[in-house]
Amino acid sequence: MLKLNRLVAIFVVSFFLLSALMPARLSTDNEVPWWNENWSFREEIILPINTSDKNVHYQPVDIFFEFENICWAKNESEHSVRVIFHEGDKAIELDCQIYDLNFSDDEHIKSCGIVFLIPDFADGYERYFIYYDDEITDIPSYDDHVDIDESSYSYEPVKGLSFESWFYIIIEDGYYVYAVSQRGKALDEYISQQVVKLKKGADSVMPKNAEQTASFSFVYWWLDGNDWKHISSAERLISKKVIVNGNLMVKFLIVSQSNDGLIQSTNYYKYYYSPSEDKGIYADVEHKIVSNSLPQGDEIDVGFIVLTTGGIRSSSIEDLNFGRIPKFLHFYHEDQGFFTYEMDQHPEDTNGETVIGSKDDYDIGNYSWLSIDDGETGKAYGIIFDSNDV
């Protein structure tokens, strides 16, 4: 993740789901005081990171956990699972969430996913334990920080200038944080799989509240004579589903295709509660060529992610003033290391500008990320890839 000296907000999307911090299991240390005698079992997990680093605080831990004993759980809300922070004589219960329950009978599970956040008081010397019981315990009562909803809008402030979208909304502590389009069009472009980072404090999903967009659709271009033509998996919705809606994490699926059915995107999205200014959404993206009968041309190009910058200005319609071009493009080049390109923030060409073309030799390195940003004193909108092996 690109961290600038005064980063006020960050937009992080990973091409593949950033895998959970996988813990190593240790046998229980009897020298650590027992948190609560009403719980029969505990197992320690080890986080393979330095939690004294302040950049790690509030980061989500998302693990698949197999219990050594059966664990009482009726569902995601009624269960005996607790995450306890131990350091010295301190034993602090952390908010947690369980999901993907694997039942051994109607009221017991063998395994599940567990989510919690690294607390801001972690100093690298603490230990983390999963407590659970095979009998009924008190039901956990945690604040429900995140939610997911569906909505739509159809907006044409000027004839011929239309915006239409059906989308999932990610809500954090009552405010809209992200919107992810299921289907729709904006300025004659299809927008399924478009992720919109909304402005801080937004209470509606409208173009004027968009801060930055990134589309996780599959685009295929071909050169037909002098004209570039394209198809995109953003053109039609095939299916959608909310998979998890918990107190700390939400997860959902969107499947979309091109209108001709030749290319498809199957994308899983996750959002974790973040008390800090930094916000991020995780995307597990699968782009697929459904049919080998793709159009051929003199040249062919493909796009896996479209990160859009630019804006609209109007002196007469207030809602038509949104969008901007950050000052810099940064990414980690495989040969040159940290690469900086200063972008034209006031271009005269309204059709867009090619900054780095497909024929340019600029490959992303092993530290696979890129960002558009305002430099050391402003915001950054970044994409972190799980790998540069696409």
Pick the CATH number of 41-132 from 2.40.50, 2.60.40, 1.20.120, 3.30.870: 2.60.40
Query: How many C-alpha atoms does 98 have within 13 Å on its Cβ side?
Result: 29
Neighbours of 389 (CB within 10 A): 8
Per-residue b or e along 123-146, where b marks 16 or more CB atoms closer than 10 Å to that residue's CB: eeebebbbbbbeeebeebeeeebb
For 69-100, the pLDDT digits (tens) are 999 999 999 999 999 999 999 999 999 999 99
Neighbours of 75 (CB within 10 A): 11
What is the 8-class DSSP label of residue 38? Answer: T
**CB 98 within 8 Å of CB 107:** no
pLDDT for 282 equals 97
Nearest to 192 by CA among 163, 164, 219, 215: 215
Give me the residues of the chain with pLDDT under 70, please.
1-30, 311, 313-321, 336, 349-353, 390
Nearest to 11 by CA among 272, 211, 306: 211
pLDDT for 157 equals 76
Q: Could you give the CA distance from residue 287 to residue 91 in angstroms, rounded to a whole number?
A: 45
Indicate the length of the chain as a whole number. Answer: 390
Largest CA distance in the chain: 76
pTM here?
0.89
What the block records as the tokens of 100 is 């993907």
Q: Could you give the CA distance from residue 167 to residue 185 in angstroms, rounded to a whole number?
A: 12
Query: Burial of 188 by CB count in 10 Å (0-12 exposed, 13-18 middle, 19+ buried)?
Result: exposed
Q: Could you give the CA distance from residue 16 to residue 9 in angstroms, rounded to a whole number?
A: 22
What does R_g of the chain's alpha carbons equal in angstroms? Answer: 23
What the block records as the tokens of 200 is 């801080």
Tell me which residue has tokens 């302040």.
Answer: 54
pLDDT for 306 equals 86
Q: Could you give the CA distance from residue 234 to residue 213 in angstroms, rounded to a whole number?
A: 14
* CA distances in angstroms from 337 to 184, 278, 332, listed in the order given: 38, 25, 5
Where do you find CATH 2.60.40 in the chain? 41-132
pLDDT for 353 equals 67
pLDDT for 188 equals 85
For 329-369, the pLDDT digits (tens) are 898 887 767 888 888 887 776 666 677 777 777 777 777 88
Who contacts 279 (Cβ-Cβ below 8 Å, separation ≥6)?
A: 9, 10, 11, 12, 177, 178, 197
pLDDT for 27 equals 45
**CB 45 within 8 Å of CB 38:** no
What is the 8-class DSSP label of residue 214? Answer: E
pLDDT for 377 equals 82
